[in-house]
Structure 1
């Protein structure tokens, strides 16, 4: 073991890792090190400029994983994950929206932790909170924002507060943008920059951990983390020791990967790859969940402004946007352009006939398909998951789908993802908030050189492997087309439109062809009882280990309703509090 030793080793300098680094290094007696595979991109304008986030999808700041071919989609799906200080909070969009848990993780405790993370800047100079992350909440100012909110009101969905925890209508979502600088506020500049000079905090970038070094004092005792092995910038393999805790915060893809490389996972897989089994837990890497989405595009009237020209990168539109952002801090460069949204139920399942149809759909599922969906998932978890989703579907007060509205063409059904149609358009992205399909992430190689790349593992999201997901998302598409056709004053700004999706089978074909995965991966190191399928306990400790924890999106056992950025900050803040209680 190296003579270099720290009290706390944090693996991953992403959203959770930097929250933990800030909070745990508040104690000057704790020596904390963060090891991050990516670079420090805190000075990169593409990272900081709000509208530039799509440019990061194929940059060195992204791991750019890919799923295995998806049987029910007929193609592979890209899996974006942040590879930089700040993790996915450095490359994602900016939306901040907020039965199977564990003790201490009720909504009250979580909400208290979440509020420690942000300062919310409301219109007219009003602020709430004193947290490091800076959030900006705009008022609906554009013609399209007002039309979206008023239109949904007209069909029975009143405006809601996106941070209230009570959803069911349209809103303008807060963005993680600092209103003073007009730049991205994320884990690196919010949580790390103010404390970089602490003498007890060390940050190493371009450093990839390949293994947690575990020892088992006895055959019956828990394993103990003694340190970590990593590959440094110069390519050499090194180790450092740990006195108290190793915390894995590498995200929903890399956290289970590192556990398996360290000997924690299904024994059959590990033995096949020549890895010594330290803890046999086949649930590691299982329960992968993500939001699937598709969308609809409507032609706008020629006399109403959209941002299509900017999205097409027409020189005059880009120059005007740069001028407006540079002089006023406003315009399409100052935002993700994705803040006009809604959390809506699906009314057709709220009637007695609708609930009966839902029960028939669930009852008609092939029981043998469970093996194809997620073999190691316990029957108890599968049943609880399905019961939870059914309760959401049938409750008029619960949001079933997340809908994002924008005044430009989106290539849902385009020849390529980069295609931008001529003319003027509005688009509605339609997201399945509570998928029942569950996938997996598992290593395919024990070679340490793969740990810093997108190779050496298999990601199988198993999208639409649960038939109800396709059924519900298709109905959401049909529902969206119907409400848009009736939502005055929105409809007055659109060109005449003929409905395409009255037939459910036609709609399903469209969804299969156009569906894609969001950036919202969770669940692969789930926090729940081990017998139910858990990987970590309610203190975030990995089952079978005394001083190894996981703290990131992978511990969330059920996909949150919408964008999980807020959830990850809340998990990290609450996790930091629990760790402090245990080690100080």
Structure 2
């Protein structure tokens, strides 16, 4: 066994990890090492070409996790993609960059997390990106390059989407405002000059690779955090044990800190394998309990979604031929990409909207919400989730009531694309409807102490418990109804669609549709939550793991209450905040 020593050891080479590595290595006196299980594919055309992102799920760059059967979704097992490559999920996602709301971040501060209010968080996030609003008009000076990219024929569908929602009382919004309530064209983390994906590996890490104080190890698996007892309930992290691609075992020593940034699945996984977690589980698997904390791996949250597909008129141009892989469409896409447009240069999700509880602006809608909230005991249903404390349930319920009751806070995130995506004949548009603030909470736990599983997706039980909280189904079903009965009938969108037989006139029909068709987004959070230990936390507001003063976690797992919309921007903000915190303390 060989040994190496660094000041900072970062476990994981994903979205947050590479931000941390870049920022912390700005100080030449600090020796930093990043340890990533996957490969360095930052120059791979499949990753760099934006429109190829759907091919990356299930590829060697994906951990390809799966859930256990989901009771409320007909016992389906669902995919749970996460990046297994340098750059993590920022290398394989659909690269929508949607900053979250003021209310989402302030909810974290209200749990007692000092310094995590929206203003501070937003200033940190601004360090992450440069938004090219138009040629010569940029906002920010961060590494991640953002722009609105045009994938659709003649660029007319996004305008129809925005104009139609305007007629429903939701004018175009600025997704960076913190108070967005309405439609907008999607900023994407695609460099408009290079026409390539802009992600943590090429935007943050690549310019820093020549620093003598920064080491990056790929194809290297951390099998255990090396913990040493310093008291009855306290340990310190001496470093990590890794296995290299050639099967050799190696110890990496940390002079100052170990930072776990392996994501919402692998971060709790490594804590448990290292002896931090629920004592009963660890003892059953033969793992020595170093720090007992039953909240490790709990509080798993994800945005559940479904979609409504509308048939477009036969004379309308959509992206369906491209997704059906018709030869002429593929040739046209390649030609368009050479000029920086077309579906190869974009996610093909042309616009979004963040919208409030349907009808909340009207007396009828307010009455519907009042009756719904009176019929459900939100806090009691929350406490039925394993190990959800009464204090956290009360705080979480208060946040949700406030959001649902507001005409300017979003309870659903809508994403819009001019195609069916599944190769169906004809022309279509799809409106995906995503629950912004899920109350259903699940868990991820190891089922084996064997390190052999750590290079793959075995030895784990992932159970998000989708729709286990009854309010999630109620809210999502109403948004599905709104999609069909309001958005689908709004002009100018409606005149471009074929007549439609109403499917969701009855709320029970909408609920049944959600149960049959719902999927999980790739927005996993919460499994090492940042809040007090009594409330259910794993880390404090300085991101330190309870019971281990020099072990921090900095990734999506620390998010205590899921933020609305896509999590990419939020994770970059967390990482920039985390880098500032670590710099103050080393």
Q: Quickly name the TM-score band, shorter chain normalised.
A: over 0.9
Cα drift, residue 49 of structure 1: 0.5
2:204 to 191, 197, 219: 191
Aligned partners of 1:294 and 1:516 also within 8 Å: yes
- Listed as ranges, the matches of 1:338-353 within 5 Å are 338-351=349-362
- Listed as ranges, the matches of 1:370-381 within 5 Å are 370=381, 373-381=384-392
- Listed as ranges, the matches of 1:36-435 within 5 Å are 36-74=36-74, 75-98=76-99, 99-101=107-109, 102-138=113-149, 142-219=155-232, 222-326=234-338, 328-351=339-362, 354-365=365-376, 370=381, 373-410=384-421, 419-435=422-438
In structure 2, the CA distance between the partners of 1:261 and 1:470, relative to structure 1 (3 Å rule), is: same
Aligned partners of 2:127 and 2:141 also within 8 Å: yes
Cα drift, residue 215 of structure 1: 0.7
- After superposition, the C-alpha distances for 1:184-239 in whole angstroms (9 at most, x for unaligned) are 0000000010011111110011111111010112225x310001011111122221
Cα drift, residue 316 of structure 1: 1.2
In structure 2, the CA distance between the partners of 1:309 and 1:483, relative to structure 1 (3 Å rule), is: same
Structure 1: how far apart are the matches of 2:381 and 2:493?
Answer: 43
Give the structure 1 partner of residue 104 of structure 2. none
Give the structure 2 partner of residue 19 of structure 1. 19
Aligned partners of 1:286 and 1:374 also within 8 Å: no
SS of the residue aligned with 1:423? Answer: coil
SS of the residue aligned with 1:211? Answer: strand
Aligned partners of 1:155 and 1:486 also within 8 Å: no
- The number of equivalent residue pairs is 573
Aligned partners of 1:373 and 1:462 also within 8 Å: no
Structure 2: how far apart are the matches of 1:208 and 1:409?
Answer: 39
Cα drift, residue 366 of structure 1: 7.2
The runs of 5 or more residues in structure 2 that have no matched partner are 100-106
Bigger shift: 17-26 or 141-150? 141-150
1:537 aligns with 2:537: no
Structure 1: how far apart are the matches of 2:533 and 2:379?
Answer: 24
Aligned partners of 2:221 and 2:243 also within 8 Å: yes
The runs of 5 or more residues in structure 1 that have no matched partner are 411-418
1:572 to 569, 575, 582: 575
- Listed as ranges, the matches of 1:501-512 within 5 Å are 501-512=504-515
Cα drift, residue 387 of structure 1: 1.7
Bigger shift: 351-360 or 252-261? 351-360
Cα drift, residue 125 of structure 1: 2.0
Bigger shift: 333-342 or 283-292? 333-342
Aligned partners of 1:407 and 1:425 also within 8 Å: yes
SS of the residue aligned with 1:162? Answer: coil
SS of the residue aligned with 1:4? Answer: strand
Aligned partners of 1:293 and 1:517 also within 8 Å: yes
Structure 2: how far apart are the matches of 1:3 and 1:152?
Answer: 60
1:445 to 444, 448, 456: 448
Structure 2: how far apart are the matches of 1:546 and 1:312?
Answer: 54
Cα drift, residue 368 of structure 1: 11
Structure 1: how far apart are the matches of 2:395 and 2:489?
Answer: 37
Aligned-residue RMSD, C-alpha: 1.7
- After superposition, the C-alpha distances for 1:363-383 in whole angstroms (9 at most, x for unaligned) are 444799748842211011112
SS of the residue aligned with 2:60? Answer: coil
Cα drift, residue 339 of structure 1: 3.3
In structure 2, the CA distance between the partners of 1:339 and 1:143, relative to structure 1 (3 Å rule), is: closer
Give the structure 2 partner of residue 492 of structure 1. 495
- After superposition, the C-alpha distances for 1:239-265 in whole angstroms (9 at most, x for unaligned) are 111100000000000000001111111
Cα drift, residue 124 of structure 1: 3.1
Bigger shift: 228-237 or 306-315? 228-237
**Could you tell me the TM-score, scaled by structure 2's length?**
0.95
Structure 1: how far apart are the matches of 2:270 and 2:372?
Answer: 39
Structure 1: how far apart are the matches of 2:392 and 2:97?
Answer: 28
Structure 2: how far apart are the matches of 1:367 and 1:162?
Answer: 29
Aligned partners of 2:378 and 2:471 also within 8 Å: no
Structure 2: how far apart are the matches of 1:301 and 1:354?
Answer: 32
Aligned partners of 2:298 and 2:386 also within 8 Å: no
- After superposition, the C-alpha distances for 1:249-292 in whole angstroms (9 at most, x for unaligned) are 00000000001111111111111111111111111100000001
Aligned partners of 2:14 and 2:90 also within 8 Å: yes
**Could you tell me the TM-score, scaled by structure 1's length?**
0.95
Structure 2: how far apart are the matches of 1:145 and 1:440?
Answer: 37
Aligned partners of 1:53 and 1:93 also within 8 Å: yes
Structure 2: how far apart are the matches of 1:82 and 1:507?
Answer: 33
1:582 to 575, 582, 585: 585
